[in-house]
Structure 1
Amino acid sequence: MLPGSTFKSARTVHAAKLRGRVGLYFVACLSVLAGMTDAIGFMATGDFVSFMSGNTTRLAVSLGEQQFGPALRIVLLIVAFVLGNALGVIAARLSGRRPWPLLLTIAALLCLTALLPASLQLLGLVIAVVAMGLVNTVVEEVNGLPIGLTYVTGALSRFGRGLGRRVLGERRHGWRVQLVPWTGMFVGAVIGALLETTFGLGAMLFSALLTLSLGLISLKIPRRWQLRYMPR
């Protein structure tokens, strides 16, 4: 191999590693945001904001107990989450797959949730759920590895399967990084719980502030890397 080709190959590998590292830091911060928001919403209203697996189980239990009012409320949240994901993909395409417009929109929605009066709590909750749906489209993958930002069951499953393959002697890469979103969400949930104890649903303002900060940080991420993180 020619010296120039060797240098170019090494530079490409270094760039890929750096892109992956930056992407994982970004994922960790977004997972903290998701955990904060979910904990605040759950403690303030009794409903999950981003954990739709939990809401699905609660929906089934409500239907089984013939509690149709709570069931309808949960259906509304699940639909709002799906809608948020769909709108996120559309918004990402319209913005040229740039994260900052999405993050700015999410920050505005979380601010609105925090500032709505208690009589409009359900509306605020739905708005927050839509915001969490949007979050999932800010980063969809890092160096080819699928990433879930507002749910960690898949991440723990992928980590566990990777651990099993490692015990069997297989040398696959990427399974360890699945703990990044789980750790971020756990840390964020602890912070969110502490904030909600003092500020109630108004603690969503802290989530909005974190989102705005991440939007500003995203401006420093190279454009070509942003295209690798967001949905195609």
Structure 2
Amino acid sequence: MLPDSAFYTARGRRIARLRGKVGLCMVAALSFLAGMTDAVGFTATGDFVSFMSGNTTRLAVSIGERDYSSILTISTLIGAFIAGNAIGVIVTRLVGRRSWPLLLCVGALLCLAGLISIALFSLVCTVIAMGMINAVVEEVNGLPIGLTYVTGALSRFGRGLGRWLMGERKPGWRVQLVPWVGMLLGAIVGALLQGYLGITAFVINGLLVFALAASSLAIPRRWQRNYMPK
């Protein structure tokens, strides 16, 4: 038999691995939803709702071209994204770092965006939702995770690959592909949905977030606290 200390160490490792797998499943699902949402917004209006690097470049081009209408729209979206991230942290603190209340808020905003099909209103609601969703999972077993942006994930994956090719065997770099694959697949589905439903496709996204909120109730609260912002 294992000594008590060895037993608890082995048990702790098993729990950490399981917590990591559950966290990565959440990351995959949330990145899929972010990809869906961004694709619906972009194909319907030409504006990004989660890709603020793209919007920043578009803002700079609009300033250079003196396109004041685009400057106002894009600046509003970037501000809404910042506000959404801040609101996400505030909500998680107010609800004791539980994910389901935050997800319900995100789902409600997406449904509202799909039901009230006024372009700028829908975009602002959606961008706020995408900012908020980043507070659901910030890290998994100490590894930083981005849900609505994947440039950082691809960068961390590439640097990890370089270290692996140089003989280093540090774990964790491969999981950075999870949000990228999730966002890619979600964007494909979102583009197809938008082709059939237009901007109303945001409602489908919102309903999926509600389903994810319900499933998150099965995740132990102490695990959720490890995923969410400190």
Q: Same fold (TM over 0.5)?
A: yes
Q: Which residue is 1:22 aligned to?
A: 22
Offset of 1:68 from its aligned partner?
1.5
State the match for 1:199 in structure 2: 197
Match of 2:135 in 1: 137
Counterpart residue number, 2:10: 10
- Counterparts of 1:1-232 in structure 2 under 5 Å? 3-117=3-117, 120-232=118-230
User: How far apart, in 1, do the equivalents of 2:209 and 2:142 lie?
Assistant: 24
How far is the alpha carbon of 1:132 from its aligned partner? 0.3
1:66 shift after superposition: 1.3
SS in 2 for 1:182: helix
C-alpha separation in 2, matches of 1:141 and 1:154: 13
Query: 1:178 deviation in Å?
Result: 0.1
Deviations 1:63-95 (A, max 9, x none): 111112101110000000000000000000000
CA separation in 2, counterparts of 1:205 and 1:111?
4
Tell me the SS of whatever aligns to 1:164: helix
Distance in 2, matches of 1:127 and 1:26, equals 22
- RMSD in angstroms over aligned alpha carbons? 1.0
1:121 CA displacement: 1.5
What per-residue deviation string (whole Å, max 9, x for no partner) do you get for residues 96-147 of structure 1? 0000000000110001000114xx2201110100000000000000000000
Deviation at 1:29, TM superposition (A): 0.2
Unpaired segments of 5 or more residues in structure 2?
none
Same amino acid, percent of matched pairs: 64
- Equivalent position SS for 2:219: coil
Counterpart AA for 2:106: I
- Runs of 4 or more off by more than 4 Å in structure 1? none
The amino acid of 1:156's aligned partner reads: L
TM-score, length-normalised on structure 1? Answer: 0.98
